[in-house]
């Protein structure tokens, strides 16, 4: 669904209240984050809140730079991470990686003092993997075939991500993505651990970080705030 501008503006105002001057923000990737940053930047400027941004992809680095954020390298921690999601379950676990930045996003999210995720209401479901949503798995190219075998043994159906003309998709880390279909997931944390322990897997797009705050954008221009501490 198209992102409701009124809801985005409202969420940006709410997020800005929790950003202190001089804060370092981790910036997730994707169209939702890009749109949110464009709404957030003028609010921060208006409140004289100069902040630093740690982007997780070249795409979001360009958007953040044009929006007036001071881009800095990742130095091991951030005050807050702002990100989107491909799917959100009833316990606020996430599927991420549709844009291919899951490894960098997980590194930055895992270092954040607070986690903020923004997603349109069509991304919400009872369990991860419902409605045909696949879970991205970032894999070293050498391990492409062996990882497929291992993922299949875990109950997955892996499919290598390709570009529109049929060439392999490579992440900014030089890895490939195996978009893997699993049955709806009852225990996301267990699946995250088992997939990540597969030899050759760099990261899996199941995110189970807590505490987390998720803003659910509604089509009528409003939003709902969801929080989970465990």
N residues, the chain: 230
Among 89, 77, 68, which Cα is nearest to 115's? 77
Locate the DSSP E strands across the chain: 24-27, 52-55, 70-71, 78-83, 87-88, 94-95, 112-120, 135-139, 157-160, 176-181, 201-204, 206-207, 212-217, 223-228
Concatenated DSSP letters for 9-22? HHHHHHHHHT--TT
Closest C-alpha to 27, from 13, 1, 67, 183:
67
Catalytic residue among 39, 105, 138, 203: 105
145 is catalytic: no
Active-site positions read: 105
């Amino acid at each position: 669904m198209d992102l409701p501008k009124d809801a985005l503006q409202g969420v940006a105002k709410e997020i800005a209240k929790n950003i202190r001057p001089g804060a370092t923000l981790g910036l997730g990737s994707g169209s939702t984050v890009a749109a949110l940053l464009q709404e957030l930047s003028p609010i921060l400027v208006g409140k004289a809140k100069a902040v630093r941004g740690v982007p997780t992809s070249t795409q979001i680095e360009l958007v953040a730079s044009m929006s007036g954020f001071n881009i800095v390298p990742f130095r091991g921690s951030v005050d807050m991470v702002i990100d989107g999601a491909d799917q959100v379950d009833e316990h606020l676990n996430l599927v991420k990686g549709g844009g291919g930045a899951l490894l960098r996003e997980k590194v930055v999210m895992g270092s954040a003092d607070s986690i903020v995720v923004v997603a349109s209401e069509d991304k919400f479901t009872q369990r991860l993997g419902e409605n045909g949503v696949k879970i991205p798995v970032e894999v070293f190219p050498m391990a492409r075939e062996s990882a497929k075998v291992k993922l299949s043994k875990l109950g997955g159906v892996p499919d290598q991500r390709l570009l529109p003309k049929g060439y392999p998709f490579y992440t900014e880390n030089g890895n490939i993505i195996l978009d893997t279909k699993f049955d709806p997931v009852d225990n996301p944390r267990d699946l995250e651990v088992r997939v990540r322990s597969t030899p050759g897997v760099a990261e899996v797009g199941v995110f189970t970080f807590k505490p987390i705050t998720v803003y659910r954008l509604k089509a009528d221009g409003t939003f709902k705030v969801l929080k989970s501490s465990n």
